Structure 1
Amino acid sequence: MTLSGGPLLDGPRRRLARSVRLRIAGPDFAAERVRIWDAPGARWFGPEDPIWLVHDDAAMFVGGIRALLLQSLHPVAMAAVADHSGYRSDPWGRLQRISHFLAVTTYGPVPDAERSIDVVRAVHRTVRGTAADGTAYCADDPDLLSWIHVAEADSFLTAYQAFGPRPLSDTEADRYVAQTAQVAARLGVPEPPRSRADIAERLAAFRPALASTPAARDAAALLLADPPLTGSARPGYRVLAAGAVSLLPPWVRAELGLPTLPITDRLVTRPLARQLLGTLRWALQAPIS
């Protein structure tokens, strides 16, 4: 969906952009963008790189929801999230921290990206506990780090290919995975996947360890049935969430108790999500104010 500009739409466009930016990046979005995008210095990636395109597109809204739903199926990872992330008490704060990390490591100067990674690794070392089945966990466990990364990379790429302005070619898609691996390796992920084939292989290897748990179903309910939004924001979010569910494999939907409706997905859900993302993409091109 493409909308034209003009005085009549300028006000609504700016209000929508401000509302989205406030949720995703917090009240300091303008200053943060200047610090990340305008600061001098070398970057790991540039405008010609697939990771730059994927992480700067509105399809990330769908990809993020899909990633959270997929990640919830790892019982130990979900236990760590439930015990330590504050996803219920401070969902927007958690989202803003993730958004900031992705922005700094994708677009920021190398020293800032390295500092951000150091901060996350330090936090991971403090996140320890015991899952419901008695399994002890630590967030810097290589297996958990690998699962979180694989679920995110797969979800972000899947959402961009389905809803982005131009799907990446096969070569570009593999480059995207390889570029995310550069950051993941610095976070402590052992031998992160570097192609779509690697992602598929890693997901298959994780599958025996994945299962629905009360914590996973609780997270899915928060994301899909009772999101922390009110008023007019709720219907739009539900369209994005439905788009995310439409991109989940049938076995994931089955584990989470979500129906698989391929005809509805193709004819209703994805067209609606594509239209809404087009509107968000248009709004977010408005000048920052």
Structure 2
Amino acid sequence: MATTEKNRIDEGLFGPGSVAWKVWTFPASALQGFARAVTIEHLDPDLTAAVDETGQVIQRTPLRYDRTMEYFSAVMFADTPTVIKMSDILMKVHSRAYGVNKVTGNEYDSNNPDSQLWIHMTAWHSILYVYEVFGPGRLSRDEENEYWRQCAIAAELQPIRQEDVPRTRGEVQKYFDDWRDKLSASEAAISNVDHILNGFETIEPRLPTILKKVGRPFLRASIIATYPRWMRPMLGVTQSRAVDTASIALWRLLFKGAHNNPDVMMAMVERVSPRSVRYIEPAIRGIKADSPRTHSPAWARERYGDPRTPLEQYADIKAARAQGAAEQPYEHNHREPVLEFREADQNPVAV
């Protein structure tokens, strides 16, 4: 398999040796980790409304999953110019995802800081959780504290209030405990979750048909095995403890062989998220950036992107809506342009 052609100018936000890279390069992150995150996210009813109104989860599942992984992979592994460009793209894409929740009557907005923090925390928590369940186990206390500090750094790329971001295991647990009473599952949420859980068929169209059919229940069971038991009825799933145990044991064995094999790792990433390959491959293969330095989001934003923070951008977006100067929200089942990077100038273009 060919390696990434364009090198990075620096090591981004975290770099080799960081706890974040250690956890996010474990193979379960690309399968169980992201699937767990994007399904649990649906228990925020207003987030589900924003997602379901676009129709993209059902209509363009592989692309939706690919683009979600692309964003998080770029934040984790790309150089700082790319990281900031991805942050600005995310703000632009989400700026049209707003409207009225037809189930609750509440207004939803994909750039809302509370919804953005929920997405961010479910992703970072899920990636760590599958690392613990399917891989080496718990981090040391110092490593986990570093992991959550790095989680807070990554949150600067989204319209999230820094004072709201938990920074220790205890604070993370309290954050999710506080959310528990707010969680609910609509018919759309359960339908979308079921669709994503069948990921071997719905997310990975490049797999041979027979492998999709055979692999579907094994992947599905392994994702369900990571859900708290109290949450499963809300997500519309059931599974015995025996299946949980057997599924975890099977995938632990599979990942043990894949973890230290770059070719296997990259073959898996290429199947699940082709857009993420260029960001993940240097970390997996140990390809160094031109500079060994890492930088903060604030430093990078001053040099490479919109000088306004995401929270400042969000305030301007809301002001434009109030004045009737904002773009109209997405229509159901729309097909918006897909933003790509041209390697020559690193500017996003619609294709």
TM over 0.5: yes
Q: Is the 8 A contact 1:185 1:192 kept in 2?
A: no
Aligned residues: 257
Distance (Å, rounded) in 1 between the aligned partners of 2:238 and 2:5: 43
1:19 alignment counterpart: none
Q: Match of 1:135? A: 106
The aligned residue for residue 277 of structure 2 is none
1:260 and 1:120 map into 2 onto residues whose CA distance is 35
**Bigger helix share:** 1
One-letter amino acid of the counterpart of residue 124, structure 1? H
The equivalent of 1:52 in structure 2 is: 21
CA contact (8 A) 2:75 2:83 kept: yes
Selected match of 1:89 from 43, 55, 59: 59
Q: Does 1:116 pair with 2:86?
A: yes
The change in CA–CA distance for 1:47 and 1:147 in structure 2 (over 3 A counts) is same
Amino acid corresponding to residue 118 of structure 2 in structure 1: W
CA, structure 1 residues 173+240, in 2 after alignment: closer, same or farther (shift >3 Å)? farther
CA RMSD of aligned residues (A): 2.3
Q: Percent identity between the aligned chains?
A: 25
CA contact (8 A) 2:21 2:76 kept: yes
Relative to structure 1, the CA distance from residue 177 to residue 287 in structure 2 (aligned partners, 3 Å threshold; closer, same or farther) is closer
Greater shift after overlay, 228-237 or 103-112? Answer: 228-237
Counterpart-to-counterpart distance in 2, 1:282 and 1:234: 28
2:194 is the alignment partner of 1:208 = no
Per-residue CA deviations over 1:118-146 (Å, capped at 9, x if unaligned) read 11012122211221222111111111111
* C-alpha distance after superposition, 1:84-124 (max 9, x if no partner): 26111111111221222122211111111111111101212
Residues 162-201 of structure 1 aligned to structure 2 (within 5 Å): 162-165=133-136, 167-190=138-161, 191-201=164-174
- Higher Rg of the two aligned structures: 2
Unaligned runs of 5+ in 1: 1-13, 15-29
Higher relative contact order (CA 8 A, sep 6+): 2
SS of 2:99's equivalent in the other structure is strand
Code of the aligned partner of 1:151: T
Distance 1:83 1:48, change over 3 A: same
Of 124, 148, 151, 2:122 maps to 151
Equivalent residue letter for 1:94: R
* Structure 1: distance between partners of 2:34 and 2:235: 17
Deviates more, 1:236-245 or 1:99-108: 236-245
Superposition TM-score, scaled by structure 2 size: 0.67
Match for 1:65: what amino acid?
A: A
Q: How far 1:231 moved relative to its partner?
A: 2.3
Structure 2 residue aligned with 1:76 = 46
Secondary structure, in 3 states, of the residue corresponding to 1:46?
A: coil
Aligned partner of 1:161 among 107, 132, 137: 132
> Which amino acid letter does the alignment assign opposite residue 111 of structure 2?
D
Deviation, 1:257, is 2.9
Matched with 1:5 is none
Q: Which portions of structure 1, spanning 4 or more consecutive aligned residues, are displaced by more than 3 angstroms?
A: 278-284, 286-289
Counterpart for residue 229 of structure 2: 250
